[in-house]
Structure 1
Amino acid sequence: MTEVIVVGGGVSGLSTALVLAERGHRVRVWSREPAEATTSAVAGALWWPYRIEPLARVGDWSLDTLRRYEELAARPAETGVRLVEGVHRGERLAALGPWAGELRDVRETAEGLRCRLPLIDMPVHLDWLAGQVRAAGGSVERRRITSFDEAAAEASTVVNCTGLGARALVPDPGVRPVRGQLVMVENPGIREWFTEADPASSETTYFFPQPGRLVLGGTAGADDWSTVPDPRTAEEIVARCARVRPEIAGARVIGHRVGLRPARDAGVRIEAEALPGGARLVHNYGHGGAGVTVALGCARAAAQLVG
């Protein structure tokens, strides 16, 4: 089978590597940073098609991934995936795409959509994915590149899952950061997740109960490259969440996180091209705010192009 190097060790890269390894390819993952330092590790990680295009394909990718998470939720301690109930305030089924009709546990209420959806503890899930890649015969290596030619010198097929890094590596100037800031607090007993998002606003309100912490958000600052948590923004995030659940106001802050969502003006790119020298380059990037949501669906689409 084909020798493949997947460049990028976040959820998209590891998911793609796993699909390829399970299909019998010899797979190596080259990651610039350890999994816990990737953008994927910072994600609040509720399954939901958020800030991602093209809409015509997102639904199928998302549902494909959803079914996988529903299976993995049977082993939450191992996979990091749990099915958790919560509310998307202000959402209505009629305003969503056809994919929403395939959800198994959703109902409309006066407040919005009440759903039971996958909520993923990303550090655990990324570690599980890497372990699955290795168990399938692949490898995960720390490697920084400045050109895809470096990978093409060692493999006949290269898969580009570099996220925001694709802006310089491809190069693709349509790739832009959408900054997300989070606050981690001790959970005062909240068991359900909550979201309220206005796509036209740079401010969102959400909280996700993860093991050992409650994740509060958030922001969606387009073209903002700063990875330094802003104290005033953190205070505003806590205040917005506390208006929904007052007990959050007194919760002890245990950490701050910033992630740069890898958005792309033209939407997700899953496409193949030839590199000088004859190697094949398969792109899988531009997932915006929904990389976790479409990870498996996009991985399978990219794998089809590998052959």
Structure 2
Amino acid sequence: MDGTHDNDVIVVGSGVIGLTTAVLLAERGRRVRVWAREPAERTTSAVAGALWWPYRIEPAALVGDWSLQSLVIYEELAERAEETGVRMVDGVQGETRLDDLGPWAAQVPGLRPATRDEYDGPGVWARVPLIDMPVHLGWLRARLARAGGTVEARTAGSLDEPLTEAPVVVNCSGIGARSLVPDGSVRPVRGQLVIVENPGVRTWFASARSAGQASTYFFPQPDRLVLGGTAQDDDWSLTPDPATAEAIVKRCAAVRPEIAGARVLDHRVGLRPVRPAVRIEREPAADGRVLVHNYGHGGAGVTVAWGCAQEAARLADEAAAS
């Protein structure tokens, strides 16, 4: 096959989906190269609030299992929080009842209705993974390197390009899949965040009670507090909007008044790669080569990363065996 090795795999995309998939493949003995259009620190994953919670992602019938598979791994990684960036943190999902959640909720340890002291309204209390994405992405990259994998700064104009260099290609291109596949069903849902000094908030909070495309959430990371957010459909702008930022702070301060006076450190914007349903599928290509798709994770890429990576790696292994 044009000088390629049967054991080669190229993973297109260096966000959390791409790196997690690459790690699993490399640790199974595959020779893995990741093609990165941009450094992991500049991907949508790096901007993510990164709370484990199935959000804006389908199909519901599969998402629960993917999420729970990932939860088990994150719980293990949280034992080395400084190294992995994963911590188990308590918090409230507001405007939510247990009955609103899928079957997956019964498998989350300690998930229960919030008390009136915890939240004045319907809500559920949960201790779930909260991930410091810059740390976690760096850890994934280091774990990949230890397994013999490499990351290359390389942009694919089409998926035919990596298929000329490896018998198996795994497409984890996120929002890039819209043009790369091409798949017109992939569309951006814009999320804007405000990063502030943490005034002492130790628990997370999230609620979609706000009208329209706004939501309210704050996530305490070790050196900052992440405030959000927005869910603006089909908006490609990566420029933070000052009025939106002001509204985000105001909504968060309505829940925790001490946030109002917190010093602003940064403004960030990310584009969630939303699709009607996640695509994890094997597609035959020319000359016996195989393309495996793993994209369309919307606002829950971190939540399902390990579960989806296991499925994509299985398909890649089957491709190599056939």
Question: Is the shorter-chain TM-score for this pair beyond 0.5, marking a shared fold?
Answer: yes
Q: Which residue of 1 aligns with 2:58?
A: 53
Q: Structure 1 residue 276 and structure 2 residue 281: aligned? A: no
Alignment check: 8 A CA contact 1:80 1:125 kept: yes
1:123 aligns with one of 109, 112, 134: 134
Alignment check: 8 A CA contact 2:95 2:209 kept: no
Task: Summarize the alignment of residues 105-254 of structure 1 with structure 2, pairs less than 5 Å apart.
Answer: 105-109=110-114, 110=116, 111=119, 112-198=123-209, 201-254=212-265
Q: Counterparts of 1:251 and 1:26 in 2: how far apart (Å)?
A: 47
Q: Counterparts of 2:212 and 2:27 in 1: how far apart (Å)?
A: 41
1:2 is displaced (CA, Å) by 2.3
SS of residue matched to 2:91: strand
Question: How many residues get paired?
Answer: 306
CA RMSD between the two structures: 1.1
Q: Counterparts of 2:274 and 2:226 in 1: how far apart (Å)?
A: 22
Task: Summarize the alignment of residues 33-112 of structure 1 with structure 2, pairs less than 5 Å apart.
Answer: 33-109=38-114, 110=116, 111=119, 112=123
Alignment check: 8 A CA contact 1:51 1:199 kept: no
1:200 is displaced (CA, Å) by 7.7
1:287 aligns with one of 288, 292, 297: 297
Amino acid at match of 1:300: Q
Amino acid at match of 1:203: A
Q: Counterparts of 2:191 and 2:110 in 1: how far apart (Å)?
A: 28
Post-superposition Cα deviations, 1:59-108, rounded to whole Å, max 9, x if no partner, equal: 00000000000000000110000001011112111111100000012111
Q: Counterparts of 1:31 and 1:82 in 2: how far apart (Å)?
A: 27
1:277 is displaced (CA, Å) by 3.2
1:201 is displaced (CA, Å) by 3.4
Q: Counterparts of 1:133 and 1:275 in 2: how far apart (Å)?
A: 26
- Greater Cα offset, 194-203 or 208-217: 194-203
For structure 2, list consecutive stretches of 5 or more residues without a partner in the other structure.
1-5, 318-322
Q: Which residue of 1 aligns with 2:315?
A: 305
Q: Counterparts of 2:212 and 2:26 in 1: how far apart (Å)?
A: 40
TM-score after normalising by structure 2: 0.93
% identity of equivalent residues: 66
Alignment check: 8 A CA contact 1:18 1:133 kept: yes
For structure 1, list consecutive stretches of 5 or more residues without a partner in the other structure.
none
Alignment check: 8 A CA contact 1:177 1:224 kept: yes
Q: Counterparts of 2:313 and 2:160 in 1: how far apart (Å)?
A: 20
Q: Structure 1 residue 5 and structure 2 residue 10: aligned? A: yes
Post-superposition Cα deviations, 1:120-143, rounded to whole Å, max 9, x if no partner, equal: 000000000011111011111111
Question: Where does structure 1 differ by over 4 angstroms across 4 or more consecutive aligned residues?
Answer: none
Post-superposition Cα deviations, 1:115-166, rounded to whole Å, max 9, x if no partner, equal: 1110000000000001111101111111111011111111000000000000
SS of residue matched to 2:156: coil
TM-score after normalising by structure 1: 0.98
Alignment check: 8 A CA contact 2:210 2:216 kept: no
